[in-house]
Structure 1
């Protein structure tokens, strides 16, 4: 099934069940007022939401309405926790090679992960507001999963059963601020503003054969200002699958229902597939030409991120955003 949230009903939106083709929806407030409420009682809510999903697709759901994607908030407008990994090591390898550094052996056995911003997510059509273009504005096209309650110290095999939803995220980065923050040895803060989520999140069964081994096996397509930027394969070169990432996050603490776990920027060894972030493209250019030529994003630039199925149908809906200045 496919779930989203309308920009109504307060800060956490109103839960809706969305048709498979993303054209219609119905409010699910008779089951749960918000997606977080549904996740808190997922065992009971999921079967009822699935039944409503069947009705929406059949055109028989009471209150069914034509869906305007511009009316959508993030499916989870705010979440208890968002942890983001860096599961695609070709990106890490290239970045380190560009600055003459080796990849530590531990990176191949122990996932990279940081605590990301979860207090608020941008909707799929909301602008990315940044105080200055000089901050080095970058997109990061990623896949993420949402869990139910995950016990502490689960194994990857156990963690796979706690993945309830899958979606996309534009994990916005401010590259000009990252070096100074990392030099302090205490992680990201100012360099990681709010991220945007795809219009809907979907259950893994909705993905069919594209969901295998806790990975999504489809290309991540990105465009900047309407021009093709990349279509890296999500299921290729992913060093750690989502079950491993969830287990890593839960090693010493339980995860609350509604926790988001990100994959990190999608990247392949085959650079002909393009890139999913500007830092990756700039690194490829540096290794090839000695210096980068692709600029970071500027005000009025547009970004589109989307994954389609084998028939070309959008699965999660597209994230479509414009870069905008902060109005003071």
Structure 2
């Protein structure tokens, strides 16, 4: 089943997509995600009959309470580290699936414009797959975690590459380099529908990105290259905290899934950074595609440097 959020007749509704049509529902997204019998729920809450997809606007399929973004593809990490003069992932990467929390207020859907963030001159995209939680759970095992995944969607973790290096030494994450846009879409494909793509404990979905309709060279990647399975990263996320329906956990960027890796390995600045007018399309087997157009942004409002030399209170260690 493909679960979408749509705008129709001025209202936001959940819809079930089949082919080129969508069936609007009275049920909300949390109700659909948590339902033990979605087929019955759809039958009971359907509004009229299906309408053409062209007659509605697709929104982000979920507005997550939390959005965790992992870095599970070693090829992407190697490319990122190469720009920093490091040749291999640190040993700590192999020990646990690390993530950062992204900005849920910046979640957008298919075809929504992405403004160049203030001060950015090196705008990039990131091709990712994401799991959507359908059942609450805490301290899960990988064996149980799969029961808590409602389905999967595409995730574009837009990145302002030149805004990140100045703040990395502080050690608090990418800050404004990741604060401005996160695309989810086009819909959530339920886990059972993707069962034919499983290879052992991994989903094996072909993934590639296109800029202005042209696929990036190199053939994309497969989600089977993830260093950890989705069940494992869900279990890790649930340690000591509760995952709730609608929470999103993203895989991190696949190999050759962003411009940064090309810049790192080719060293010639090609392909160029994204610019207003560029259209980025992510394509994942078994799910579909999601596109966004880059538009012009604004210049940053200047701020002063930190105040220094202010009086300090006496401390026991002073």
TM-score, normalised by the number of residues in structure 1: 0.82
1:229 to 208, 216, 227: 216
1:282 to 263, 271, 285: 263
Question: Structure 1 residue 295 and structure 2 residue 289: aligned?
Answer: no
Asked whether the equivalents of residues 145 and 166 of structure 1 are also in contact (C-alpha less than 8 Å), the reply is yes
Asked whether the equivalents of residues 133 and 299 of structure 1 are also in contact (C-alpha less than 8 Å), the reply is no
Task: Give 3-state SS (helix, strand or coil) of 1:200's partner.
Answer: strand
Task: Give 3-state SS (helix, strand or coil) of 1:134's partner.
Answer: coil
- Report how far residue 5 of structure 1 moved: 0.9
Asked whether the equivalents of residues 75 and 254 of structure 2 are also in contact (C-alpha less than 8 Å), the reply is no
Report the counterpart of residue 92 of structure 1 in structure 2: 77
Question: Structure 1 residue 258 and structure 2 residue 246: aligned?
Answer: yes
Q: Distance in 1 between matches of 2:201 and 2:166?
A: 35
- Report how far residue 233 of structure 1 moved: 2.6
Report the counterpart of residue 5 of structure 1 in structure 2: 5
Task: Give 3-state SS (helix, strand or coil) of 2:77's partner.
Answer: helix
Structure 1 residue ranges (4+ consecutive) displaced by more than 4 angstroms after TM superposition: 8-11, 49-53
Asked whether the equivalents of residues 24 and 65 of structure 1 are also in contact (C-alpha less than 8 Å), the reply is yes
Q: Distance in 1 between matches of 2:176 and 2:152?
A: 27
Question: Structure 1 residue 82 and structure 2 residue 67: aligned?
Answer: yes
1:317 to 288, 293, 297: 288
Q: Distance in 2 between matches of 1:243 and 1:205?
A: 14
- Report how far residue 103 of structure 1 moved: 2.2
Question: Structure 1 residue 164 and structure 2 residue 150: aligned?
Answer: yes
Q: Distance in 1 between matches of 2:251 and 2:58?
A: 23
Q: Distance in 1 between matches of 2:211 and 2:119?
A: 16
Q: Distance in 2 between matches of 1:10 and 1:80?
A: 24
- Report how far residue 73 of structure 1 moved: 0.8
* Rg (Cα) greater in structure: 2
Asked whether the equivalents of residues 127 and 324 of structure 1 are also in contact (C-alpha less than 8 Å), the reply is yes
Assess, with a 3 A threshold, how the Cα gap between structure 1 residues 156 and 24 changes in structure 2: closer, same or farther: same
Assess, with a 3 A threshold, how the Cα gap between structure 1 residues 9 and 258 changes in structure 2: closer, same or farther: farther
- Report how far residue 199 of structure 1 moved: 1.5
Equivalences, count: 296
Q: Distance in 1 between matches of 2:82 and 2:156?
A: 25
After TM superposition, the structure 1 = structure 2 runs for residues 181-200 of structure 1, keeping only pairs within 5 Å, are: 181-192=167-178, 193-200=180-187
Residues 104-147 of structure 1 deviation map (CA, whole Å, 9 limit, x = unaligned): 21211211200011124211111111244734211101000101
Report the counterpart of residue 201 of structure 1 in structure 2: 188
Report the counterpart of residue 65 of structure 1 in structure 2: 51
Asked whether the equivalents of residues 202 and 229 of structure 2 are also in contact (C-alpha less than 8 Å), the reply is yes
Residues 30-86 of structure 1 deviation map (CA, whole Å, 9 limit, x = unaligned): xx1x313433xx134624246589xx9xxxx9421111286111111x211110101
Q: What is the root-mean-square deviation in Å for CA atoms of aligned residues?
A: 2.6
2:203 to 190, 193, 216: 216
Assess, with a 3 A threshold, how the Cα gap between structure 1 residues 223 and 8 changes in structure 2: closer, same or farther: same
Q: Distance in 2 between matches of 1:97 and 1:326?
A: 29
Assess, with a 3 A threshold, how the Cα gap between structure 1 residues 143 and 190 changes in structure 2: closer, same or farther: same
Q: Distance in 2 between matches of 1:115 and 1:276?
A: 20
TM-score, normalised by the number of residues in structure 2: 0.84
- Report how far residue 183 of structure 1 moved: 1.8
Question: Structure 1 residue 179 and structure 2 residue 171: aligned?
Answer: no
Report the counterpart of residue 271 of structure 1 in structure 2: none
Q: Distance in 2 between matches of 1:10 and 1:179?
A: 42
Asked whether the equivalents of residues 3 and 61 of structure 2 are also in contact (C-alpha less than 8 Å), the reply is yes
